[in-house]
Structure 1
């Protein structure tokens, strides 16, 4: 990392040391999808456990799984009857192609203009450390936290949390809590106080079409032979209609309109399309007709094609007709929808659109996740709303999060309501080149979480 800059004229040495600590962690390439980085994911887990101990957690452990390790930390409150807050996040990161990065290499953190660049700086190592920094400041004011704090930071989120269910089952007693906080979400902006109250679920699947036993020479059979790539494109096109609505049977039956509070919040949320396009690097806003961009992001389901594969990508096509084509599909779900039901609808849809002469295979991932909405009357939600308002100096309004998180799974396992608070921003380039975190977002996060630690005891009692 380059020499630390002063984030503000009154930047304290403690903040510079904290950012250097984040940079050190970001420098560990904990890419869970690459077996060649498995040892780096383990190194990341050990780094975090050590950092938890230095922050003041008497218990900080690396929990091994049949895959990659999670990290657990706990700091009991002085009062044995104090409420328990469990924070969930992850320390693994998405894969990165160094050739696409311009500001710095993915795992060579670089600080510039109030931002720290590097893979994982925002998603989600910065978010995790914001919690520890808030706890550090909280402990500086008192000998023990006002609530018992627990942390579960897994190492497989970027590959679908494949062993999270095992961790939740095996360590159920350690993970018992009165409220759970998922810290793998985004703020709306540095100026607008918002609280995420809902996240979409997801169903991921790979659709494979086979049209021949082997690749065919187009000069011999073109115009008469089955083409797996064309058949796949036909199916992908049929997934949504001209109005952008998904065509799965019964898909929209449980989808409800947003409640008046959320709709009012969305209508009043500052949103400038050119700014959003520039922040996200998107060429145009698209999707279901009749809804605004924010409604599409948070209150409507969506379907995406994450990858299309056909033919010989590593060499010239040589005039061949590919025998096999596949598409990785991602369906985003909203509350009231169930992931297992949508998976069944996808299978029924494929059966209804299959044609004789082709072979089809639909492989639905085992790591599908249900959407989740924080109960509106949860006292902890009111406490978080007040804490965000304290950090921003203005009342907070509800928003959603467009991605998926294992919130429903955590709620079922822990028997507790789930809150959402993260320090990411739409322009942080998650999963893309030159990922970055705004240091001001981390400051706001520390203030919010510190206020929450003070608010929760009275709220939950």
Structure 2
């Protein structure tokens, strides 16, 4: 029998919508763009804003952890019971850059509430997600008349996620004793919809590669050499065109060898999600549906690997054309990896393929960042996952389904370093325009998320002790 929602938790949250949204708006006004050195102080201000907010909430331990990059906020609130489980929440407070002239609803850092949505850069990704946890904690304490949470609660909110978390691995290794937990909750993911109780059970990994192809030793007037000189733009386009076959499968030899196929049970679960192609195209603003034959749209973005070209540069992209054969062309390739694939192995496959496929007369350089992420899937039978499903069902009064997310997160790093399973709970939606103009968050998603997380805090001690 499905458990009824807790009226005390529900009432606490819905009676305080105004102050909670005021908090989110105040934080969104801080332009914590990690990719722009001009905003370095703003990232610091964002970290300080969060520290103050956590102190006001009651956390007895709130610290700013410096790295060689930007600030991470750590907080800890021990449970009164020394045997209570420990939960670590991971998310981030930095945001993507925003071009003011491309935003139509609001200026990026001038948040506004319209028709149940808060607009502004970071409202969904991921300041809203962080505050959903804070609101959940406050509701949990109020509803149960507690002075401390039912679990020892830790937060790790970094300031460099949007630039690939270059210092996170070192930080987690160095502070593993402070971050030790029985379960980790990663909150940098999306829901499927406001109506569907669907728990995310895994994320894809990410491999970012940069390919540079060199032709002439310098830009050369095309009237002098056209038809006789190596054109790197033609060659890089040829290479990129060969990266997929006519069935939209990646052509790297060995690429699919380690791909874990979704189980029949998981495919049935994904098929049970309410999906309509036209609605998905409208929500995502995609023009059409493409992809690997034999798999549904949701299977493609949640359980199958992919290779995407995200930038292609050469010649004079921003200036009047000079009529030259360019010396250099470059492309950025992002691979989305799934269970059992390893980013380093795929990079080795790519290196071999490019070296064997590029034609004579060109030079090339292939590089990758140190911020690649392996995929991660939550253990299907872990009691914490069952607790999250119960909490979400309790909020929405529907049985919980299981989904995955197509994006990446440092879940594998956190799980392996801390030897703890990872749960995923985010409050974003596909139509929230992450990384794009007019980013927004649904207020209902934040409230439902906070309610779900409050129930999870209440339930985890019993589940993890059983």
Match of 1:307 in 2: 311
1:14 Cα deviation from its structure 2 partner = 1.9
Q: Say if 2:265 is the partner of 1:264.
A: no
Match of 1:36 in 2: 38
1:320 Cα deviation from its structure 2 partner = 1.2
Match of 2:94 in 1: 92
Secondary structure of the residue that 1:398 maps to in structure 2?
Answer: strand
Q: Say if 2:140 is the partner of 1:129.
A: no
Match of 2:409 in 1: 405
Gaps in structure 2 of 5+ consecutive residues: 1-10
Cα distance between partner residues in 1 of 2:140 and 2:324: 65
Match of 2:158 in 1: 154
Match of 1:242 in 2: 246
1:260 Cα deviation from its structure 2 partner = 2.4
Secondary structure of the residue that 1:135 maps to in structure 2?
Answer: helix
Cα distance between partner residues in 1 of 2:15 and 2:226: 69
8 Å Cα contact 2:12/2:139 also seen in 1: no
Deviations 1:243-262 (A, max 9, x none): 00001110101113211221
Segments of 4+ in structure 1 off by > 3 A? 9-13
Relative to the length of structure 2, the TM-score reads: 0.96
8 Å Cα contact 1:203/1:368 also seen in 2: yes
Secondary structure of the residue that 2:179 maps to in structure 1?
Answer: coil
8 Å Cα contact 1:56/1:136 also seen in 2: no
Cα distance between partner residues in 2 of 1:455 and 1:262: 25
1:394 Cα deviation from its structure 2 partner = 0.6
Match of 1:3 in 2: none
Cα distance between partner residues in 1 of 2:164 and 2:319: 31
Deviations 1:39-92 (A, max 9, x none): 100100000011011111111111111000100011111101100000000000
Structure 1 pair 11/147, CA: closer, same or farther in 2 (3 Å)? closer
Deviations 1:231-284 (A, max 9, x none): 010011111111000011101011132112211111111111111111111111
Secondary structure of the residue that 1:440 maps to in structure 2?
Answer: helix
Cα distance between partner residues in 2 of 1:28 and 1:170: 29
* Aligned length, in residue pairs: 454
Match of 1:329 in 2: 333
1:11 Cα deviation from its structure 2 partner = 8.8
1:313 Cα deviation from its structure 2 partner = 2.3
Q: Pick the aligned partner of 2:365 from 346, 361, 368.
A: 361
Secondary structure of the residue that 1:173 maps to in structure 2?
Answer: helix
Deviations 1:200-259 (A, max 9, x none): 001001000000111111111111111111101001111111100001110101113211
1:120 Cα deviation from its structure 2 partner = 0.4
Cα distance between partner residues in 2 of 1:403 and 1:43: 28
Secondary structure of the residue that 1:289 maps to in structure 2?
Answer: coil
1:13 Cα deviation from its structure 2 partner = 5.4
Residues 97-108 of structure 1: pairs in structure 2 closer than 5 A: 97-108=99-110
- Between 350-359 and 397-406, the greater mean CA deviation after superposition: 350-359
Structure 1 pair 211/191, CA: closer, same or farther in 2 (3 Å)? same
8 Å Cα contact 2:218/2:326 also seen in 1: yes
Match of 1:116 in 2: 118
Match of 2:349 in 1: 345
Match of 2:291 in 1: 287
Q: Pick the aligned partner of 1:80 from 82, 88, 112.
A: 82
8 Å Cα contact 2:235/2:358 also seen in 1: no
Deviations 1:345-364 (A, max 9, x none): 11111111021110100011
8 Å Cα contact 2:13/2:139 also seen in 1: no
Gaps in structure 1 of 5+ consecutive residues: 1-8
Secondary structure of the residue that 1:345 maps to in structure 2?
Answer: helix
Cα distance between partner residues in 2 of 1:253 and 1:181: 30
